[in-house]
Structure 1
Amino acid sequence: MVDITKLIEVIVKPMCSHPESIQIKQHESDKFIEFDLKLDPDDVGRIIGRQGRVVQSIRNIVYAAKADYNKRVRLNII
Structure 2
Amino acid sequence: MPANVSLKELIEFIAKALVDNPDEVDVSEVAGEQTVVLELRVAKSDLGKVIGKQGRTVKAMRAILNAASSKLRKRADLEILE
Q: Same fold (TM over 0.5)?
A: yes
SS in structure 2 of the partner of residue 17 of structure 1? coil
Which residue does 2:53 correspond to in 1?
50
Question: Aligned equivalents of 1:7 and 1:31: distance in 2?
Answer: 19
| Alignment RMSD (CA, Å) | 1.4
- Percent identity, aligned pairs only? 31
- Aligned amino acid, residue 72 of structure 1: R
**Which 4+ stretches in 1 moved above 6 angstroms?**
none
Query: Structure 1 unaligned runs (5+)?
Result: none
- Matched residue, 1:74: 77
**1:10 aligned to which of 9, 13, 28:** 13
In the TM superposition, what is the alpha-carbon distance from 1:14 to its structure 2 partner?
1.4
Taking structure 2 as the reference length, the TM-score comes to 0.84
How many residues were matched structurally? 77
In structure 2, the residue matched to 1:19 is 22
Distance in 1 separating the partners of 2:52 and 2:5: 26
Task: Determine if contact 1:2/1:65 at 8 Å carries over to the other structure.
Answer: no
Tell me how far 1:48 sits from its aligned partner.
Answer: 0.3
> Using the alignment, how far apart are the partners of 1:8 and 1:24 within structure 2?
8
Question: Does residue 33 of structure 1 match 2:36?
Answer: yes
